[in-house]
Chains A and B, each alone.
Chain A
Amino acid sequence: MNPRYRPLAATTLIFIIAYALCIFQYPGMWSTRVFGNFLTDNAFLGIAAVGATFVILSGGIDLSVGAIIGLTGVVTAILISWLGLHPLLVFAIVLVLAASFGAGMGAVIHFLQVPPFIVTLAGMFLARGLASVLTQDSIPIDHEFYRTISTLYFKLPGGGRLSFIGMLMLATFVICGLIAHKTRFGSYVYAIGGNATSASLMGVPTGRVTVGIYALSSFLGGLAGIVYSLYTSAGYPLAAVGIELDSIAAVVIGGTLLTGGYGFIFGTLIGVMLQGLVQTYIVFDGTLSSWWTKIAIGFLLFMFILLQKLVFSAHSGRSRLKKGPA
């Protein structure tokens, strides 16, 4: 096997073993019903995490995703419920808005040369603040189109439902996986993450690509916001608080290197599923309190970071790690 795929294989294996152990303890978890809910409940997290994967592959970070989910949810709800626009038109508007928001952040990061961490922090404050100024309350969305979408699902054998938003998440993973691994833009992202200076010396248009990466991340954040509004049938300014950290955790657990330049979109899917598994396990157990979720995810994050360290110091020498704290 190509050593490139080893960390990915390790993550996948750990997920399968963990799932098997869960099934061993609670045979009820071996059903398409549980699996379908997995996809539905984590759809918005998964879509946001795909965006985070691109950003982290390029060696950056995006803290604004959660706030963008909240803001797009609120804008969607306002445009549909208060102005009476058709949802499809609204979706197009908010996706364009979200993408330009991200493009703006990318432009600041590239042209002012400020750490992405602080720029996206400002973006997070701005988006959260705008959403809270627009409304303080949850705005319900009651539209024919939303009801139609919530009835769209495939029946899986065994009574499970593959819902529309679950399918949307899987489609996002497939499309973005192709973008990352098969297009020129994708290889530029990897090149910048590997070493920004040599990438630009090789002729990678770093400015355009950086803007593109953050635009894509915010676009996917907007899509996640729409999915969240479909999931809850409402727009709420404080929706998805802390999702940015969950999505970063999913990316790390999925085996993407936080220094950039190495990782797979598919790994992120496993990362999201593993987080979903922890939650489902805690629901099945019933006696464990929900705060164990946080501890378990923190522990998983720690284990996978350690694993990354071991794998990379074992087969790519120590030169990679000498970068020091970035």
Chain B
Amino acid sequence: MKRLQFSRIISPQLLALAGVLLFNWIVFPGFFDVTWKDGRLFGSMIDVINRGAPVAILAIGMTAIIATKGVDLSVGAVMAVAGAVAATFAVAGQPLIVILAAALACGIVCGLWNGALVAYLGIQPFVATLVLMVAGRGVAQLITEGSIVTFSDPALIFVGTGSVLGLPMPAVIAIVLMIIAHIVMRRTAIGLFIEAIGTNLSAANYTGLRSQMLILSIYAFGGFCAAIAGIIAAADIRGADANNAGLWLELDAILAVVIGGTSLLGGRFSIPMSVLGAVIIQAMNTGVLVSGFPPEFNLIVKAGMIIIILVLQSARIAQALGRKFGPRQTSEQTR
């Protein structure tokens, strides 16, 4: 057991993160400098954690969804909807608790909608969530009436820009959420159920799992995570931008999950690794920025990253190298 955990600690993801950070440190020697100012920490590393938090939070929900062999394309749109709801309630002068409850409830409803389409109507996850991805931004604009709603509620702004024990609030939320989700997945049977569904849905059904209910709640959890990310994104800019909030973040979240080693074919997942994946992505983004390259290189770097991971994860390559790991082949060939 101990040896297993040790080999888990020096995973390829950590090596990748170390590599990216090392690169950042070479091109920008002040990268690891952290200073204490006005009761909070400042520095590039802190910035990476802070900026990576929304994607990390999305990745937590996305990991569970991908582990059931699903995918949620609507998280970006749900972020926009939740942000719009939060901003509208803040403008109306509601207390923080009402704002948060409304936005989170909104995210959960979106997630339930996706989950119902996938679990009860049997629509492919890709398509089912596409509906909300297309319509969600329209709904968000409907809520904000097409304009960018700005607010100045200090409590809500604290969620996006405040700090606890020197750490930025978004990072604190992401870490707490990660720990809770990980404990729930690994210390209860839920994680096992999710892996069962992802590996073989009919087998899971035959063992008596209430898989429809479980899939529904997992998508609801995905919507909940997206709503948290949406609130943070809105609080960060003190306004809800229905067009741009969370734009393309669904792809970043999926990428984070894939980097974290969760198989896109379902059945194998790790939430902390996905969060690490999100941090790697953000470290790359920051690295491209501090090294003076134009930010457009980000996309190319990301594409290169995906290609490398695909080659590493590919069953064919693993076979050629005679290794035992890599995605299970049988599930792929009978797809």
Q: Is A122 an interface residue (CB 8 A)?
A: yes
A133 and B313 alpha carbons, distance in the complex (Å): 29
Q: Is the CB of B306 within 8 A of A305?
A: no
Neighbour of A321 across the interface among B70, B122, B264, B297, CB < 8 A: B122
Q: Using an 8 Å CB-CB cutoff, how does the interface string of B253-297 with A read, 1 for contact, 0 for none? A: 011001000001100000000000000000000000000001011
B69 within 8 A of A: yes
Q: Which of B123, B137, B298 contacts A309 (CB 8 A)?
A: B123
The secondary structure that dominates the A interface is helix
Set of chain A residues within 8 Å of B165, measured between Cβ atoms: none
Q: Tally the A-B contacts, defined by beta carbons under 8 Å.
A: 143
Interchain nearest-CB distance for A222 vs B (Å): 18
**B299 contacts partner chain A, Cβ-Cβ < 8 Å:** yes
**CB <8 Å contact, B130 and A293:** no
Interface residue from A128, A196, A322 paired with B299 (Cβ < 8 Å): A128
- Chain A residue numbers with a CB within 8 Å of B123 are 305, 309
Chain B, Cβ-Cβ closest to A121: B251
B335 A119 Cβ-Cβ under 8 A: no
Do A249 and B69 contact each other (CB < 8 Å), given the known contacts A291-B141, A326-B335?
no
Q: How far is the CB of B248 from chain A (nearest CB, A)?
A: 9
Chain A residues lying within 8 Å of B265, measured Cβ to Cβ, are: 115
With A108-B310, A118-B258, A133-B297: A258-B303 Cβ-Cβ less than 8 Å: no
Which secondary structure characterizes the binding site on chain B? helix
B324 to chain A, nearest CB (A): 17
* Chain A residue with Cβ nearest B144: A291
Does B131 count as interface, using CB distance less than 8 angstroms?
yes
Asked if B139 CB lies within 8 Å of chain A CBs, one says: yes
For the complex, give the distance between the alpha carbons of A132 and B297 in Å. 8
Q: What is the number of residues of chain B that contact chain A, defined by CB distance less than 8 Å?
A: 59
Nearest CB of A to B221, in Å: 16
Quote the shortest CB–CB distance from A66 to chain B (angstroms): 12
> By the criterion CB–CB under 8 Å, are A129 and B297 in contact?
yes
Q: Does A112 sit within 8 A of B, measured CB to CB?
A: yes
Question: In the bound complex, how far is the Cα of B122 from the Cα of A306, in angstroms?
Answer: 10
Number of chain A residues whose Cβ lies closer than 8 Å to a Cβ of chain B: 49
Knowing A258-B127, A325-B70 touch, does A125 contact B135 (C-beta < 8 A)? Answer: no
The reply on A69 being an interface residue by CB < 8 A is: no
B135 and A295 form a contact (CB under 8 A): yes
Q: Is the CB of B202 within 8 A of A324?
A: yes
Residues on the B chain within 8 Å of A129, using CB: 296-303
**Are B122 and A248 closer than 8 Å at their CB atoms?**
no
Question: Does B38 interact with chain A (Cβ within 8 Å)?
Answer: no
- A61 in contact (CB, < 8 A): yes
Known: A291-B146, A309-B123, A325-B201. 20 other contacts (CB 8 A): A114-B264, A115-B265, A118-B306, A119-B310, A121-B254, A122-B307, A125-B302, A126-B303, A129-B302, A129-B303, A295-B139, A298-B131, A298-B138, A299-B135, A305-B127, A309-B121, A325-B68, A325-B124, A326-B69, A326-B126
21 A-B residue pairings within 8 Å (CB atoms): A108-B310, A114-B314, A117-B71, A121-B254, A125-B302, A125-B306, A129-B300, A136-B294, A258-B126, A259-B124, A291-B142, A294-B141, A298-B132, A305-B131, A309-B122, A309-B123, A321-B122, A324-B122, A325-B69, A325-B70, A326-B69
